[in-house]
Amino acid sequence: MFQNDAELRPTGGFLTAYATMKITKGKIESGISQDIYTLDAGFKRKVPAPDPIKKYLPLVYTWNLRDMNLSPDFKSSMDTFTGYMSEVPGAPDFDALIAIDTQVPVRILEVLGPIGVPGYGGKFSAEIDPRCDCPQVIYELENIITRPTYEIREGRKSILGPLMNSMLANMMGSPKAKWAEFFNIFTESIKQKHLLMYFRDSNKQNAVEVLGAGGRINDYDGDYLHVSDTNFAGAKSNMFVTQEVEQVVNIGEDGKISKKLTLTYKNPRPGDNCNLEAGQLCLNGLLRDWQRIYVPKGSVLKSAKGFEVDMTTTEDLGKTVFEGFFTLAPQSVKKLEIEYEVPAGLVSGDYRLLIQKQPGTKEIKTTLTLNGGKPKVYQINSDQEIVLPQ
């Protein structure tokens, strides 16, 4: 399953396309490759859209398969997605679902070099393309998949299967000296949540979660933070957006934690012509971000600035969730400030914080200041536990 991280969703990206393969005694046999819209066309049940889609995704009133990865917990999202997908006539039966974002093929092509894909002409590479200042393979995928066209959509997103097959063939034919690099790509992609796995068999699913490839929202007995951003009709703007996080933490004598969380989003690139009639490739437009901030259960919101709606408080996955919405235009900066209190009892001795990275995101600069001390800077590219003496 291909998740387009340029259009960020809670589990890593917009569910764009999928390809099937059968593995028997180590032998890989290619199957079908389809656009997610082909699956949606066969999904006849009219499931009412969840409230966030009704509020923030214009003119969408039913819940489509392509929008069912709303939970930041990958297993929860895939339970929902696969449950409804099974109602589609001819939907693929499977034992395991492996989700990747654009970072995986880019990393592989950095090792392989340019490769051809039968039926699609030219070469695909990880070299920077000046048309987007991004890897050429990403530009070509977006160009094939998302450029407005009056032609029939069928088959436009079926490139995923041929591309993966070509990469696999080139990897298998590579000198053994490169195999260690491919293994490192696999392990780093799991650690950094660019590759997630979901198994129907509970024992295999448990093994995947132990490996750290399950994309789960974890229980934790200290302070906790997970920021989940959802791009609702905001073009492919996440390709150009950077994020920085600043946390100022003060622990009172009663053990309560007072926090100020500042999130800064920047999009330095000029916008594209996203008028459908222009027929141009719309990558950078107005980002429309439904945001949820997961914190320890029982936390209380004190104030919120920078959002375009009043922030609300809910509960999900054993956490308290602060929910809001904001927009970010090309060549602009958005700063969000949230102040809240975390219940007493989470700090005994050292201050402990678990930050869980959102799948599909790149490295995020995070600054943490504890009790007025010297700020400490972390580069978060995976889940990370931070332990500091008070």
How many CB atoms sit inside 10 A of residue 373's CB?
12
pLDDT in the model for residue 339: 99
- Out of 2.50.20, 1.10.287, 2.60.120, 2.60.40, the CATH code matching 223-388 is 2.60.40
User: Residue 157: what pLDDT?
Assistant: 56
Cross-strand pairs, 261? 247, 338
- Predicted confidence at residue 152, as pLDDT, reads 43
Residues 315/271, Cβ–Cβ less than 8 Å: no
What is the reported pLDDT for 85? 96
User: Are 365 and 390 contacting, i.e. CB atoms less than 8 angstroms apart?
Assistant: no
What is the pLDDT at residue 222?
95
Residue 116 has, within 13 A of its CA and on its CB side, a CA count of 4
C-alpha distances in angstroms, 16 versus 34, 67, 88, 107, 284? 9, 10, 17, 19, 18
The ranges of the chain with pLDDT < 70 are 148-157, 276-279
Q: What is the pLDDT of residues 33-60, one digit of tens each?
A: 888 988 999 999 999 999 999 999 989 9
Give residue limits of the domains in the chain. Answer: 2-211, 223-388
Distances 272 to 118, 275, 292 between C-alpha atoms, Å:
30, 9, 28
